[in-house]
A and B are shown apart, each in its own frame.
Chain A
Amino acid sequence: MSSGQTLVMAEHDGTQLAASVYRSITAAQQFGQHVSVLVIGAGITQVAREAAMINGVQRVLQVDAVTLQHPSAEQISHIVLQMANAYEVLLAAHSSWSKNFLPRVAALLDVGMVSDVLHIIVPRTYQRSVYAGNLLSTVQSQDEQQVLTVHASKFKLASLSQTSAVIERLTVTGSPVPVRWISQTLNQSPRPPLASAKVVVSGGRALGSAERFEAVLAPLANQLQAAIGASRAAVDAGYAPNDLQVGQTGVVVAPALYIAVGISGAIQHTYGMKDSQVIVAINQDPEAPIFQMADYGLVGDLFSVIPALTAALSQANIN
């Protein structure tokens, strides 16, 4: 392994880089090394050119082949491993894309991987969250080579450059264990996806039934163009499907506005939403723990409060 070089693996949709790539470049620069960006796909010249225009990128490596239209974790890690020895640091923004293949790379390099880094304190020493963000852990890697994903929102967007970095096209030999790609379905729901929604309206057991869960929360969510979430208690009671569960054992969210309706505030739920910018709690029980973490608390009967709130927001023309 030669030292002094950092490789950023860049996620894209075939035509455009993910915004998180710009943030991962900022993270990569903190190692103070030459930064190369790897783009993998089919017909991705445009993506490679975009990457070459990011400030701080010295070189773009383009691996472009028709067989890489929907690259598997096996294919991506196979490609990365062919070049990995040239890099001291291998880095990507944390996402379902990167966390699928990067642990494979780390294992075959015999390196312990660091997931979802919040801060690079100094090279090889990182802060990351554990227990769904309830605790912050500072860890020091003992490995020569560093393999990590970074929590993109903690790093600034890299700016655009006036000049393009060099783009090298690479071919890869051999083929990994095969995986047959069948299809991809992106959420067609009129509501935004829970994990990335700007506003989330969540319901708890106090909603009382699946019918009332929908009838009470949907108009408010529609008004606010919000995603609907649920507490584990509401899911366990059968009021909402499991994929709406917000919490340590469900989806971790950090929207601009989180409205907790009839949710008491069990630890496992609050772990999953405590990083929301503004938290509103509406609950009949003034002693509910959720009020301790809410920016705004309203004690009342949700069956009258929520329709009134929906109407008031509509009147105030907030959507």
Chain B
Amino acid sequence: MNVLVAIKRVVDYNIKVRAKPDGSAVDIAGVKMSVNPFDENAIEAALQLKEQGVVSHITVVTIGPNSHQDSLRHALAMGADDALLIETDEVLQSLGVAKVLKQLVDTMQPQLVLLGKQAIDDDAGQTGQMLAALLNYPQATYASHIEINGLEATVVREIDGGTETIAIHLPAVITADLRLNEPRFVKLPQLMLARKKQINTVPLASLDLDTRQRLIQLRVEEPPPRAAGIMVDSVDALVSQLIKHEGIFA
């Protein structure tokens, strides 16, 4: 069975992002970029399914300029079989990404598409569901456990206050939540090997899709900062401060 894993390159989770001084955009110039952490869970899920013998081939795809190859190489170093860059300088939003992925799925016909549940930059959390809808495939979002038997996937999903278990027929779209697995660390020799691998590149324009932005960003700003706090010098002093606040205890 073939799997397509879609990943996004985002500002690394250790970086404090700021708005540009004119408030026009998020300032990401010169900032360290990484694979979106939930997408790493998706890659890891594909790798584990391959190790179980369920999956035979893993293709990883991302959309962006040439610089996004580093995210694909990270996925190759983790163990993906091949990588595809849909090359563009445009910044696509969820709907545009879903349209691109739909066209790839129509061509490549994977039995399973894996994505992270959301990207940690725009926090939209839409792409997997949009893709499933456009494909008319069943979906299982926020997966914390995946088991595949033949053409049926049994998925435990994280929901508010607990979990839900559903079974869906493949082909399907599954989005990965944090609890699904612990993504493996990439060792330097694997990264060096991945550097030599071929990355297939397709210009976005050649797909002839309507991927224009539907949300125009007017302004980005930082939320008001927290008021400065105080240092206390003992447990008793801390408790006497806390009991002044009404309603903070359960």
Contact = CB atoms under 8 A, between A and B. Distances in A.
Interface of A: 70, 72-74, 77, 95-97, 99-108, 110-116, 125, 129-143, 177-187, 192-193, 195-199, 224-226, 241-243, 245, 247-250, 256-257, 266-268, 274, 277-280, 291, 293-299, 305, 308-309, 312-313, 316, 318-319
A170 to B, nearest CB: 21
Q: How large is the interface on B (under 10, 10 to 19, 20 to 34, 35 or more residues)?
A: 35 or more
A309 B238 contact: yes
B89 to A, nearest CB: 20
24 contacts: A99-B125, A99-B126, A100-B139, A103-B125, A107-B129, A113-B124, A132-B123, A139-B216, A177-B138, A179-B167, A182-B154, A184-B165, A185-B163, A185-B165, A198-B248, A199-B248, A226-B250, A242-B182, A250-B178, A267-B15, A298-B231, A318-B242, A318-B249, A319-B250
Contact of A103 (B133, B159, B236): B133
Contacts of A256: 247-249
Contacts of B110: none
Contact of A96 (B93, B160, B167): B160
A116 B123 contact: yes
Nearest to B124: A115
B123 A242 contact: no
Interface string B219-232: 11111001101111
Interface in B102-125: 120-125
A139 B218 contact: yes
B235 A142 contact: no
A115 B125 contact: yes
A277 B219 CA distance: 26
B56 interface: no
Contacts of A141: 214-215
Contacts of A138: 217-221
A164 B13 CA distance: 49
Contact of B235 (A114, A245, A298): A298
B26 A130 contact: yes
B126 A115 contact: yes
Contacts of A129: 123, 223
Interface in B194-223: 212-223
Contacts of B216: 139-140, 142
Contact of A107 (B134, B179, B247): B134
Contacts of A297: 229-232
A102 B179 CA distance: 23
Contacts of A114: 215
Contacts of B139: 73-74, 100, 104
* A interface SS class: mixed
B161 A135 contact: no
B154 A112 contact: no
Given A135-B26, A199-B248, A142 B126 contact: no
Contacts of A198: 248-250
Contacts of B131: 107
Nearest to B247: A256
A268 B161 contact: no
Given A277-B248, A278-B242, 15 more contacts: A73-B139, A77-B133, A100-B141, A103-B94, A130-B26, A192-B250, A199-B250, A242-B182, A245-B178, A249-B13, A249-B120, A257-B249, A293-B226, A293-B229, A318-B242
A110 B241 CA distance: 53
Interface centre among B142, B226, B243 (most CB of A within 10 A): B226
A104 B239 contact: no
B168 interface: yes
Contacts of B134: 107-108
B129 A139 contact: no
B19 interface: yes
B166 A187 contact: no
B187 interface: no
